[in-house]
Amino acid sequence: MLAPEQHALLDELYWNTNQTVTSLCTQFGLTAAQVSKLITPLPAGFDCWWCQQPMSYCKRSERNDARRAFRHLTCSCGAEQPEGVDHPGLVDSDAAIVAPLFESRERDSWYRGQRHTAKVGPMSDVVRHGVKAMAEVGLRWTGVFVVVEAFDSLDGVAHRLQGLPTRTLVVPALTDLMRNEGDSLALFFRLVAGGWRVISAAPSLLSHHEYDGWCDDLVDRWSPMAQSGSRSSRLHLV
């Protein structure tokens, strides 16, 4: 519908000026729907963490939202992209965001195959929370994401992690490294004793005005007993 030079001008005006779509429609004799179809997607400068295909912005609003909190640019494969990767002041890290897999070996490929995207949604949550946890300690995620089969023995899961080209892991929670919480903590202590850094993406259960520190979801939030001397007292780890 447009000559190559006109098409190039349309892209230039759309992406690099504040000229409205209505104004562009008038200038080029197009409808808004036609402008939307003719605009060449703008490369975002990074690849999708799931399918590894280059990401691009199809609309100015997507690009403008890229530096805002809670933006979820979604790839055509269905994977939501994390926000805050380009936040200034962060240091690049080779940390691997780990998604423990609790299925049997026979179904392992069902998760990992790129043609199957039914689990991309939950995986997106793992990645987005992991990137946020890294940013809180000053680290920038560089795209290392792995699915680790965790429905196995302690030695088996530890062996898989040892094969990763990093010694920094980001996990959903310390108790989510394996299917069993006891094994998860045993694996965590083994990793730490071996010189690994394990970053938990679990949100703090206490707000800052109650406790200005870090906590995982190892125990329920503490609250005073309703009646003193109650036999239902519980042991809390502090």
| Tens of pLDDT, residues 24-77 | 999 999 999 999 999 999 998 888 888 889 999 999 888 887 666 556 788 888
Give the pLDDT of residue 69: 57
**Parallel, antiparallel, or unpaired: how do β-strands 139-141 and 145-149 relate?**
unpaired
Q: How far apart are the first and last CA of the chain?
A: 69
What's the predicted TM-score (pTM) here?
0.69
Query: Cα(97)–Cα(70) distance, rounded to whole angstroms?
Result: 19
Percent of the chain with pLDDT over 70: 75
Single-letter amino acid code for the residue at 236: H
**Predicted local confidence at residue 45, as pLDDT:** 84
Classify residue 208 as left (phi > 0), alpha (psi -120 to 50) or beta: alpha
CB atoms within 10 A of CB 58: 13
Helices (DSSP H) in 17-136: which residue ranges? Answer: 21-28, 32-38, 60-65, 108-112, 120-136
The pLDDT score that the predictor gives to residue 116 is 41
Average pLDDT, the chain: 81
Mean pLDDT of 95-104: 84
For residue 79 the two structure tokens come to 């994977």
